[in-house]
């Protein structure tokens, strides 16, 4: 229930009591609440439930003003069976063991979409003075080894840039592979998909991005979903300032180059005049705001924020402005004009220079022009990491192919993950490749790639599929037989069904469908059904609607369905 003393408008009339009750097989009750039977968890021991409120799904969880413009505190009482651990995005919690009742209280005002609940077979370990990690017992040792001591390092770096962390604790819970996005910045309790644990560099970036949201998005929120870049663009900028402080400029530039490559890929497919490429997107009545969230929200938003920082001459001056911005607007919601007016008032010399009206780079044009960013960051500090990628790509794509010896001498196991995925993404962009090239690529790298993380393997397997390279197809089958996550299944099924391998995809799907969440199963059915007679009925008893959660996977815009692989928009919330 909302706290009546909240300084902002409270949530409706009350918080609906939530009880964890085992439901029929794989039952899915609403767009917001995901119920999983034990077989859809890693431990296969107990049922599991989680919520995902972004952007407007929490209206099916509890009565609320489901808009980011409204914030309030909240309290909740949750009754659960013995052995089920319940967590919420709250600053305070207690547990009455005799009654099996959890009580939660969020003392700071938050928008409805940041109210989150998870319950299941979860255990924890402290990984820092104000952080702990929660996971299923079989995953906890891995989570500890990946994150112990790291979160405090990132929080400290963020505080040095943007001021005190105001939420008290920063805990992380790893969710089963059915979690429909990569990560979600619920205050005090970040949700992350467990599948990302094996990909160290992606895990680092995803967690740091969610840490950045503690200031940009959670403390200061976009007042309208038409300006999501105010959260995502600023959080992406802050994320990269934090990674620069902790891992150096070269690593940050490499990750930025990887993301900007994806942005330009999306732009090429959508067209430069597509209205979804605006930072201020028009939200038509009846459209789910999540459908408007794409790489422009993140990367074009980031480029605008980076441009503002460059106007200051020194990024540390811009850090000072952002600290003042957070202090002025924390616990409220803002529009773009609030940010820009504050910026010009903080730097009166820039206001005198009329930087907001600089020809070709007008603030208004940044916000409302379609197409790519008006300016992009200088990534030359990352050349030590990006140049080897560019050189290797050139060796493999320059005809005639007479540099195989030089190319094959490159040991990809010594590269960073972001170098390898950048290289593979560029090969994907050039596919289909000449048969001789794909054959030699497999001979040189396939065995190396087999031992790498899923972010790398899925890209190589997409190359295999897009080039109809049959000798490695068994690896595609093996990969899909062991994956239950949208982020690692949908891209391959999309590629399989675009080419000549749809029957192969059907065969794998019928063998693996029972290990997939009904929503994912239904999405794959829709992909497989394109151009075919309707597929035989599959038991999706409780899936009765095409839920917003389905399009939330990596925040894919419906406008891009069928044109852009999910690998191009693999971003955290």
* Chunked mean pLDDT (size 10), the chain, 573 residues: 41 30 34 89 96 93 95 98 97 96 98 98 98 98 98 98 98 96 97 96 98 98 97 98 98 98 94 94 88 91 98 96 98 98 98 97 98 98 98 89 77 97 97 94 94 97 97 97 95 93 96 93 94 44 30 32 38 54
9/362 Cα distance (integer angstroms): 35
Say how far residue 269 (Cα) sits from the centre of its chain.
Answer: 21
Query: Following DSSP, what letter does each residue of 267-315 receive, concatenated?
Result: HHHH-TT-GGGSSS----TT--GGGG-SHIIIIIHHHHHHHHHHHTSSH
Strand partners, 439: none
CATH 1.10.390.10 residue ranges for the chain: 221-378
Please measure the distance between the N-terminal and C-terminal CA atoms of the chain and give it in whole angstroms.
26
Query: CB-hemisphere CA count at 13 Å for 421?
Result: 25
Q: Supply the pLDDT for residue 483.
A: 93
SS (H, E, C) 207-264: HHHHHHHCCECCCEEECCHHHCHHHHHHHHHHHHHHHHHHHCHHHHHHHHHHHHHHHH
Give the helix ranges, DSSP H, for 290-410.
295, 301-311, 315-329, 336-346, 348-352, 363-368, 383-397, 404-408
Strand partners, 96: 101
111/11 Cα distance (integer angstroms): 9
Is 124 annotated as ligand-binding? Answer: no
Q: Supply the pLDDT for residue 3.
A: 55
Catalytic residue list contains 306: no
Q: Supply the pLDDT for residue 32.
A: 77
CATH 1.25.40.320 residue ranges for the chain: 382-529
Is 317 annotated as ligand-binding? Answer: no
Q: Supply the pLDDT for residue 409.
A: 85
Catalytic residue list contains 493: no
CATH topology of domain 221-378: Neutral Protease; domain 2 (1.10.390)
Candidates 201, 210, 299, 553; catalytic one:
210
Q: Supply the pLDDT for residue 532.
A: 55
Enter the tokens of residue 506: 């059907």
* CA R_g for the chain: 23
Please choose, from the candidates 107, 89, 331, 112, the residue with its C-alpha nearest in 3D space to the C-alpha of residue 188.
89
302/389 Cα distance (integer angstroms): 24
Enter the tokens of residue 244: 């620069």
The correct answer on CATH 3.90.1150.10 for the domain covering 382-529 is no
Global pTM reads: 0.89
Strands, sheet with 33-36, edge to edge from the N-terminal-most edge strand = 33-36, 48-51, 117-120, 85-88
CB of 64 closer than 8 Å to CB of 110? no
Q: Supply the pLDDT for residue 567.
A: 38
CATH 3.30.2010.30 residue ranges for the chain: 33-197
Is 455 annotated as ligand-binding? Answer: no
Task: Report, at the CATH architecture level, how domain 33-197 is classified.
Answer: 2-Layer Sandwich (3.30)
Candidates 162, 298, 302, 306; catalytic one:
298
Enter the tokens of residue 129: 């003075």
Q: Supply the pLDDT for residue 31.
A: 59
């Amino acid at each position: 229930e909302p706290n009546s003393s909240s300084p902002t408008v409270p949530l409706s009339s009350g918080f609906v009591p939530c009880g964890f009750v085992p439901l029929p097989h794989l039952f899915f009750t609403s767009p917001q609440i995901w119920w999983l039977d034990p077989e859809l968890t890693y431990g296969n021991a107990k049922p599991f439930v989680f919520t995902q409120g972004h952007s407007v799904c929490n209206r099916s969880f509890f009565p609320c003003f489901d808009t980011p413009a409204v914030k309030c505190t909240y309290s909740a009482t949750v009754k659960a069976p013995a052995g089920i651990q319940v967590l919420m995005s709250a600053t305070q919690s207690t547990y009455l063991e005799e009654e099996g009742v959890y009580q939660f209280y969020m003392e700071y005002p938050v928008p409805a979409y940041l109210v989150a609940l998870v319950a299941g077979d979860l255990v924890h370990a402290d990984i820092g003075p104000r952080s702990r990690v929660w996971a299923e017992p079989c995953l906890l040792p891995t989570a500890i080894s990946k994150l112990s001591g790291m979160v405090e390092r990132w929080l400290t770096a963020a505080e040095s840039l943007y001021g005190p962390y105001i939420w008290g604790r920063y805990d992380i819970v790893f969710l089963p592979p059915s979690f429909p996005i990569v990560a979600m910045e619920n205050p005090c309790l970040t949700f992350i998909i467990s599948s990302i644990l094996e990909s160290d560099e992606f895990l680092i970036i995803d967690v740091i991005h969610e840490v950045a949201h503690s200031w940009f998005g959670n403390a200061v929120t976009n007042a309208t979903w038409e300006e999501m870049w105010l959260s995502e663009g600023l959080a992406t900028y802050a994320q990269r300032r934090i990674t620069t402080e902790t891992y150096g400029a070269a690593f940050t530039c490499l990750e930025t180059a990887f993301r900007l490559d994806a942005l330009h890929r999306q732009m090429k497919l959508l067209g430069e005049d597509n209205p979804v490429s605006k930072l201020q997107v028009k939200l038509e009545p009846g459209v789910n705001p999540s459908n408007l969230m794409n790489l422009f929200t993140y990367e074009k938003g980031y480029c605008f924020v980076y441009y503002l920082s460059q106007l200051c001459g020194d990024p540390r001056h811009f850090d000072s402005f952002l600290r003042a911005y957070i202090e002025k607007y924390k616990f409220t919601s803002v529009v773009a004009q609030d940010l820009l007016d504050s910026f010009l008032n903080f730097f009166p010399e820039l206001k005198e220079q009329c930087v907001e009206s600089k020809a070709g780079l007008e603030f208004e044009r940044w916000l409302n022009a379609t197409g790519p960013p008006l300016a992009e960051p200088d990534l030359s500090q990352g050349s030590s990491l990006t140049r080897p990628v560019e050189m290797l790509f050139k060796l493999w794509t320059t005809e005639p192919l007479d540099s195989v010896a030089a190319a094959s001498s490159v040991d990809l196991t010594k590269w960073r993950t972001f170098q390898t995925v950048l290289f593979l993404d560029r090969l994907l962009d050039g596919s289909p490749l000449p048969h001789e090239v794909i054959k030699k690529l497999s001979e040189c790298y396939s065995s190396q790639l087999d031992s790498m993380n899923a972010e790398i393997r899925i890209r190589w397997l997409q190359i295999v599929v897009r080039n109809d390279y049959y000798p490695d197809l068994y690896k595609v089958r093996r990969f899909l037989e062991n994956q239950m996550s949208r982020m690692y299944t949908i891209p391959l099924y999309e590629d399989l069904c675009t080419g000549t391998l749809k029957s192969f995809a059907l065969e794998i799907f019928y063998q693996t469908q029972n290990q997939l969440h009904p929503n994912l199963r239904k999405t794959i059915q829709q992909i497989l059904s394109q151009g075919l007679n309707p597929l035989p009925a599959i038991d999706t008893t409780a899936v009765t609607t095409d839920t917003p959660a389905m399009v939330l996977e990596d925040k894919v815009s419906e406008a891009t369905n069928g044109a852009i692989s999910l690998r191009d928009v693999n971003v955290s919330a």
